[in-house]
Structure formats: C-alpha cells, structure tokens
Amino acid sequence: MQNQRLEALYAVSGLASDAASLTELANAFVRHARKVAGADAVAMRWSDEANERYVLLANDGLPRAMAEEEHCLHTGSCHCGQPQEKARTRVIPITPTSMVALPHCREAGFETMVTIPVQMQQRVLGEVDLFFRFPVVLNDDLRELLEAMTRHLASAMEGLRATALEREAAVAQERSMIARELHDSIAQSLAFLKIQTQLLRDAVAKGDTAKRDRSIDELDVGVRECYSDVRELLVHFRTRTSEEDIEAALRATLSKFEHQTGMATSLSMAGHGVPLPSDVQIQVLHMVQEALSNVRKHAKATRVELRVERHPRWRFEVQDDGMGFEVEQVPPDSLHVGLGIMRERAQRIGAVVQVQSHRGQGTRVCIELPSSPRPPAPANAAASPAQAAPVAAAPIAPHSPAPLQELLT
C-alpha cells in the first residue's frame, strides 16, 4: 500500500508540474483520481471566494445531462458543494429519502458518493466528488491517500493562481510604462501640433504672414517629430533578444537608430561574463533605447557610442557628443518622463542608472547591473519611490506642450 501511495502522489506532482492551466490540471486530476479510487465517475468543483457557489471545473465519467445540470451549484443545495465550516471528507449513501440531495446522482444510478474538500490554509478552494454504483466503505488508507492527493492538488492550484497573478501584474506594469512612453512622445507632439494649429488660425485671421509662415514651419517640424516617435516606438515594442547574448540585439538597435537619425554609432564590448537572462536583456534594451531616444530629441549630437562591460558586472554606457547640460541646474520637477521610465525598469532588475553631463561636452548615461542580475520584479513588488534607482537630471525638451488631457478638450 505504501508503494501505491507514493506512486499516486508522485503522479499528482507530475500533473501539477506539467499543467499550464487550471482546467488542464483539473482534467488530468479527475482521471487519475478515478483510477486510484476505482470510482465510476469523478467531478472536481471550483468554489468562489465567498464559498457561495461551486462550478464544475472537470469531470470523468459523469453522464452529460448530469454534468450540464450541475454545472453550477449553490453551496448547501446538495451533498456536493460543502459549506466551508462543514468541509470534511464524507461518505454519503445516495437514497431516495434524502431531503438535501438533488436527484441527479440517483437518476444516474450512483449509490454512494465520497466528497473530499480541496483546502489551502483553512480556505475551501473546491472539492473532489467520487461517485460509485455500489455501496462503499472508505478505509483509512484510501481516505488518507485521497486527502493527500487533494492537498497536492490545492498546492498546485494555488501555484497556478500565483503565477497568473504575477503575469497579470507584469502585463499591467508594462502597459503603464507603454502609456507613459506614448504620453511622453506622441501625445505631447500632438498637443504641440494643436497649439501651433491655433496659432496658425490666429495668424491667418490677422493677415500676419510672418507668424503664419513661422507656424507652418513649426507644424512641419512637429509632424516630422511625431512620425519619428511612432517609428521609434514600433521598434521599441518589437524588441526581441537572444538566449545567448545581448550583443546582436544591441547592434540591431544601433543600426536602426543610425538609419533613422543619420547619426554615426559604434558599439564596443569588453570582458567576459555570464549571459544575461532574456527578461533582463529586454529591460536593458528598453533602457538603452530610451537613452538613444533622448539623444535624438535633445542632444543635437552627430555621434553616439555604446560601451558595454561584461565583467566584473554588466555595465552599459551611452555617450553622445551633443550640446550637453549642467545637471545641477535642472530642477527635479523638470526630469524627463523617459528617464522616469528608465528608473522604473532599472529598479525592477536591481540596476542603477546615472546621468553625467556638462554643457558643450555631451551626455553619458550609465546603466550598471548588480553582480547577480535578478528577474524583473512584479509590479506589486516594486520598491517605493524613495528606493528607486537613482537618476540624475536630463535635458529638457525644447517645447513644453500641454499635457494629454488637453487633447481631450
């Protein structure tokens, strides 16, 4: 019996590791439980947070009509669907005189049901119901085995739930960053174009040809800038990395930047180190792209150098030969939104971002990773603003257009 128990639990652990979704896990579990218990049918029901309803998540052997009728049960309406305070393993004879039970089990020819709650930390996640067409006496060994299997099932279900929440948090954070990038680029460019359009109308109404021509020139520059922003964001969102090394992705990024801006670029790689995980590579690439975006928009540079050190820790430097600025003269509330996004991305992987610049001497953005780069943290695990990766001041955009809300008025 001990060997059978170990085999059964090992099989449940295998199901848990292989399942990619709750439905897949449930379907595999009911088939395995039916085999272990020798049942005629097995149903797995999922309870809502308030334990008011049980939804049939998977079954093996139930008549189609019964599965449809019992797709959703109110807690306590039948022997299936136990209230949390009464949740325990029970052997229930199915008799015509039962006042609680729905008639579906009896009509399907079942004589006994064994119900086992699926619990995690005293909270009922669901239950497993086994149906038999003959009277059943559940011995202690089988009871303990079935309860151990449902405990493994509960852990697997909670693991899938936690993974899903992490994915959802990561997607939500990435969407937030994308929204900020859109606001920083396209929305502000459109707001600037809206202002220039109004100035053009005023100039035309007053017959002021000089102001009219100046507004037309500004509109032309704004449209070109907005077009460049769109192309840049498309490149940004399509970023992919290699499992082996980040060098190929960096070269591709610089090549596209050079093609779009006409600036000369160079890449130097020094040292040898362990390749970065692909999810860390993505965050680094986005930060490098944001640094290049700032060069394009503000630096008035002719050349950009990207220097990478792999040892003793990964370090990325983006250096331009542009006009530069005095860091201490830039007030904190004038920091560019793009560098705020860089700071958030750096924070997620434990990196540090530094900006060094002097007027007439260009600007250098340094991204230094910890000695053991960690996978990106989910949104709810991010540090407070006071703990964010430090970032120095950045160049101020030549125009300060109205915020996105003005586009909606």
> What are the tokens at 209?
């040809």
Examine the domain organization and report whether 25 and 151 are in the same domain: yes
- DSSP tally for the chain: helices H, then strands E: 10, 11
| 8 A C-beta contact, residue 365 and residue 353 | yes
| 8 A C-beta contact, residue 150 and residue 116 | yes
Supply the Cα-derived Rg of the chain in whole angstroms: 31
Examine the domain organization and report whether 128 and 277 are in the same domain: no
Residue 206 lies in a domain: no
The total number of structural domains in the chain stands at 2
Name which of 194, 179, 153 is nearest 237 in CA terms: 179
| 8 A C-beta contact, residue 337 and residue 290 | no
CB atoms within 10 A of CB 231: 13
> What are the tokens at 40?
């005629």
The one-letter code for the residue type at 366 is: C
- C-alpha span between 145 and 149 (Å, rounded): 6
Angle at 387 between CA 176 and CA 336, to 5 degrees: 50
Residue keyed to tokens 């999810």: 279
DSSP state of 85: G
Residue keyed to tokens 């600025």: 325
The one-letter code for the residue type at 67 is: A
Residue 101 lies in a domain: yes
pLDDT per residue rounded down to tens, the chain (409 residues): 566 677 788 787 787 777 778 888 899 999 999 999 999 999 999 888 888 999 999 999 999 999 999 999 988 888 888 787 778 899 999 887 665 567 888 889 999 999 999 988 878 889 999 999 999 988 998 999 899 998 988 888 888 888 878 888 877 877 877 777 676 667 767 877 888 899 999 999 999 999 999 999 989 988 887 887 787 677 666 666 555 579 988 998 899 889 878 899 999 999 888 888 888 898 899 899 889 988 888 889 999 999 999 988 999 999 999 998 877 766 554 345 667 778 888 998 999 999 999 889 999 999 999 987 766 665 444 444 334 444 444 333 333 333 333 333 3
DSSP state of 42: E
Residue 133 lies in a domain: yes
Q: Helices marked H in 120-139 — which ranges?
A: none
Angle, to 10 degrees, between the axis of helix 247-261 and the axis of helix 209-237?
160
Of 131, 164, 197, the last residue of a domain is 164
Examine the domain organization and report whether 135 and 261 are in the same domain: no
Strands 90-93 and 112-120: antiparallel
- Whether the pTM exceeds 0.95: the reply is no
| 8 A C-beta contact, residue 317 and residue 295 | no
Separation in Å, CA 9 to CA 4, 16, 113, 126, 151: 9, 11, 22, 19, 10
| 8 A C-beta contact, residue 322 and residue 299 | yes
Examine the domain organization and report whether 274 and 142 are in the same domain: no
| 8 A C-beta contact, residue 359 and residue 326 | yes
Residue 193 lies in a domain: no
CATH number of the domain residue 349 falls in: 3.30.565.10
Examine the domain organization and report whether 308 and 160 are in the same domain: no
Examine the domain organization and report whether 127 and 267 are in the same domain: no
Of 137, 164, 191, the last residue of a domain is 164
| 8 A C-beta contact, residue 232 and residue 296 | yes
Examine the domain organization and report whether 285 and 389 are in the same domain: yes
Of 109, 136, 164, the last residue of a domain is 164
Examine the domain organization and report whether 276 and 148 are in the same domain: no
Residue 6 lies in a domain: yes
Does an H or E element contain 9, and which? helix 2-18
pLDDT at 393: 40
Examine the domain organization and report whether 390 and 261 are in the same domain: yes
Examine the domain organization and report whether 157 and 244 are in the same domain: no
pLDDT at 222: 83
57 contact partners, CB below 8 Å, separation of at least 6: 22, 23, 26, 44, 45, 46, 126
Name which of 187, 257, 262, 189 is nearest 223 in CA terms: 189
pLDDT at 340: 76
Does an H or E element contain 305, and which? strand 303-309
Residue 191 lies in a domain: no
| 8 A C-beta contact, residue 309 and residue 367 | no
Name which of 356, 354, 399 is nearest 191 in CA terms: 399
Examine the domain organization and report whether 128 and 253 are in the same domain: no
Cis before 312? omega within 30: yes
Residue 204 lies in a domain: no
CATH number of the domain residue 58 falls in: 3.30.450.40
Domain of 14 in residue numbering reads as 2-164
Does an H or E element contain 354, and which? strand 352-357
Examine the domain organization and report whether 159 and 283 are in the same domain: no
Residue 31 lies in a domain: yes
- C-alpha span between 110 and 61 (Å, rounded): 11
